[in-house]
Structure 1
Amino acid sequence: MMRLTFKKQRGLSLVEFMIAGVIGLILILGLTQIFVSNRQAFDTTAASADVQETGRMAVEILAKGVRNADYWGCVDNNNVFNNLDNTALGYDEDTLGFGSGLDGADDNTDASDGIVDGTDFIFIRGTRGSSDIQIDEPMPNSSAVLDVTTANDLAVGDVVAVSNCQGGDIFQITALPSGDKLQHNTGATLFPGNGKNSGTCSGGGGGSNCLSQLYDKGASVLVPYSERYFIGTGVSGEPALFMRRGILGGASVGSGQTIELVEGVEDMQILYGEDTSGDGTVSAYRAASAVGDMNDVLSVRASLLVRSRQLNVLDSPQVLTFNGAAVDGSDRRLRRVYTMTSTIRNRM
């Protein structure tokens, strides 16, 4: 009877070891490729979501600001008289002027203002309030004291506006006499103070404390605001949409507070829809420098260039044109352009 004998395996030959090594290397390279591809897809998806969220928020903020601009109660800005003293030292026309509910500038070139060069910025002004504070008693003359329904939310130094359907006045509260009253004396006790009126007042009274008219019961007391939206450099070093809010109350009246709103907005270009024919429709969209009269602007069109926070998201530089020029995509960030058009509802 034949017996079969088997030799025991005493190790791997060099050939077998090399074959196993090659197979293992192929597997590792395959897994690495899958990992890299998944990571690239994840980064691209995250960057896309980031850009979309940034663009949506920035557009929403600007659209809301434009939509609510130039509100002065039931009267337009042309009939609102600014009583603030524009001769006061340090008076800032941008913050305290209220000459127009809307203003802007093209292609910033001032390297010292914190605004990215080459970008546009826009001023939005108006008043806010729900008419909760109203004139409580008709003004018998143009005295410096107004009777109101409540003064609980107001303080000495606050800049306010009183408005009816014939006109309005902007002034600074200089005192709050007892009995829910607002006082608006002239003089230099506060900055900027009041003092633009002179001459004989309607209904009698001292000329230096005149308002532009006598206000009857029911006239609204509103809170003015002044905001500038622009592109600056955020705390992280990334470009961002900013708002500079004029301070119109407290100890810092006339100064501004700069607030970073949305990170990742690289550029902003703005066109203004001007009604040149007076028919209540937009005749053409123009840059700020080409607008004849900002008071004739009915809508605003803003284009935003938004970029991802992450570098090297894309496999190759993105080809993109913004404002008629090619965008440098050598950092391989993901970029998108968002455009919004919003009407100024208080002018329609």
Structure 2
Amino acid sequence: MKDLGKQAGLTLVELLIASVLGLLLTLGVAQLFVSGSDTFRLAESIGRMQESGRLAQDILGRSVRSTDYWGCLSADRIRSVVDENHGSYDPDLHNFVDPQGIQFDIGDGTTAATGTVLIQLKGMRSVALPVDTSAGGTNGAPISGRTIPLQSLSAGQVNKGGFAMLSDCDDAIVFRVSDIDLANNTVDLAATITDSGGNAVVPGNEAAGSCSDSSLPNCFPATLAGGELFTGYVERYYIRDDNGRRSLVFDGFGPTGVINRQEIVSDVIDMQVQVGSGPRGDNVINNWQTVNAGNLTTVNEKSVTYVKAARISLLVRSQEDGVAGSLQDVCYPAWSNCTAGNNWTPANTADRHYYRVYTSTYSIRNRLLDTSP
């Protein structure tokens, strides 16, 4: 029997075999780690994309559904005393004479990213501010001049320079709030409006006695019994390109007329829209058409295309590059005919972002009312 005490160590062959086995084991562990890390990154990216897509859908859905609300009257009953003759008057932002509650535009790179759809919404919100008919005046008409007495008024309910509407369900007048008196629960609609810094807010209101509608004494209806004050809004949603980084952006028309731009969902890189239309007075949609540069005029003219619903398709990208194993392709927008295969791929062939399409249809509730006898 060989004496074990005389063993001096391992042979070179044994060392080489052990090294190869150790290297194989190390490579296996490393591969398992890399695979697990890639899977985690992909799952995290998809999760964030789903969160972004659902958040964007939720925000757009709530806004589109509630647009074109004008209290107890329809839009064609609305009158306005906002000064249309001022050089700063912009019909898209300031027009409240039979106003268009939903409009569209195609981005040219100035505001919205080139080729993407911009959605503009307009309407009123109830703030539960009834006229104080005991304060004076005939049937609740303004006490004096152009001052409106309210039963109550709290800070933040109405903004100086913002749009407001006084309606008694027989008449409705839109104006810009020139002053607020919380102590006396009143708001004013003087022609000249200044902000807290003393700067002019333009356009203001028509001067008393020079109204475009001569039937309105002091630019206001003669009877406001049971009237209520509403606050107006103009909102825009679009895709903004910031040096190659795209996001869904919100523009709100502020109290002083300044556009307040806010990024609300990042990595939403495109938005396309189809509109469903039909005749007024019922809840029937009999035509769908895609919004594009060629049909903007007809889509935005509600006497031609009375839009009752909007189908919005969003293209969302993962925040990280390198999470996809190959160049991604998708069917976008969702109503495309992709029977022969997906129709959209990134322009950069080295792009390894993950892409997903989110599409929802939203009815404009205030246009689906059945007014048939």
- Smaller-chain TM-score range? 0.7 to 0.9
Matches within 5 A, 1:66-85: 66-85=64-83
Counterparts of 2:94 and 2:7, CA distance in 1: 94
Residue of structure 1 equivalent to 2:309: 299
- Cα contact 1:245–1:258 (8 A) shared by 2: yes
TM-aligned CA deviation for residue 119 of structure 1: 0.7
Deviation at 1:86, TM superposition (A): 2.5
CA distance in structure 2 between the partners assigned to 1:6 and 1:274 by the alignment: 95
Q: Which residue of 1 aligns with 2:100?
A: 100
Cα separation, 1, equivalents of 2:317 and 2:285: 31
Task: Answer yes or no: is the 8 Å Cα contact 2:162–2:232 preserved in 1.
Answer: no
Deviations 1:104-133, CA, capped at 9 Å, x for gaps: 123x22x322x21111110011111242x1
The runs of at least 4 consecutive aligned structure 1 residues that moved more than 6 Å come to: none
- 1:155 deviation in Å? 5.2
1:262 corresponds in structure 2 to 265
Match of 2:219? 210
Equivalent-residue separation in structure 1 for 2:93 and 2:280 (angstroms): 31
Residue of structure 2 in register with 1:42 after alignment: 40
Displacement of 1:50 after TM fit? 0.8
Matched, 1:327 2:329: no
Percent identity, please. 30
- After TM superposition, the score normalised by the length of structure 2 is 0.81
CA distance in 1, matches of 2:29, 2:307: 60
Which of 24, 27, 30 is matched with 2:28 structurally?
Answer: 30
Find the residue that maps to 2:86 and give its secondary structure. Answer: coil
SS at match of 1:298: strand
The whole-number CA distance in structure 2 between the counterparts of 1:188 and 1:220 is 22
Task: Return closer, same or farther for 1:318/1:175 CA change in 2, 3 Å cut-off.
Answer: closer
SS in 2 for 1:281: coil
- TM-score with structure 1 length normalisation? 0.86
Q: Retained in 2: the 8 A contact 1:75–1:164? A: no
**Distance apart, 1:268 and its partner CA:** 0.4
Partners of 1:129 and 1:259 lie apart in 2 by 24
Read off the aligned partner of 2:177 and give its amino acid letter. Answer: I
SS state at 1:49 partner: helix
Which ranges in structure 2 are unaligned for 5 or more consecutive residues? 134-138, 195-199, 337-342, 369-373
Cα pair distance change 1:26/1:121, threshold 3 Å: same
d(CA) in 2 for partners of 1:278 and 1:151? 36
1:59 corresponds to? 57
Query: Which secondary structure does the structure 2 equivalent of 1:146 belong to?
Result: strand
Q: Which residue of structure 1 lines up, in the alignment, with residue 117 of structure 2?
A: 120
- CA distance in structure 2 between the aligned counterparts of 1:83 and 1:272, rounded to whole angstroms: 31
- What is residue 233 of structure 1 aligned with on the other side? 241
- Paired residue for 2:340? none
- Specify which of 281, 284, 287 is matched with residue 284 of structure 1: 287
Q: The residue matched to 2:4 in structure 1 has which SS? A: coil
Letter in 1 for 2:148: L
Give 1:100 deviation, angstroms. Answer: 1.0
Could you tell which deviates more after superposition, 66-75 or 327-336? 327-336
Report 1:165-176 matches (<5 A).
Answer: 165-176=169-180
How far off its partner does 1:277 sit?
A: 7.4
- Please tell me whether the aligned partners of residues 273 and 297 of structure 1 are also in contact (alpha carbons under 8 angstroms): yes
Aligned-partner residue type, residue 134 of structure 1? P
Structure 2 residue aligned with 1:274: 277
Residue 371 of structure 2: aligned partner:
none
Higher alpha-carbon deviation: 43-52 or 170-179: 170-179
The answer to whether 1:197 aligns with 2:206 is no
Counterpart position of 1:243: 250
Runs of 5+ unmatched residues, structure 1: none
Residue number in structure 1 paired with 2:367: 347
Q: Tell me how far apart the structure 2 counterparts of residues 332 and 198 of structure 1 sit (CA, whole Å).
A: 59
What is the number of equivalent residue pairs in this alignment? Answer: 331
| Two-structure CA RMSD over aligned residues (Å) | 2.5
Return the alpha-carbon distance in structure 2 between the equivalents of residues 220 and 197 of structure 1.
Answer: 22
Show the counterpart of 2:339.
Answer: none
How big is the shift at 1:78? 1.3
1:145: which partner in 2? 147
Quick one: structure 1 residues 122 and 274, their matched pair in 2 at CA, closer, same or farther if it must change by over 3 Å?
A: same
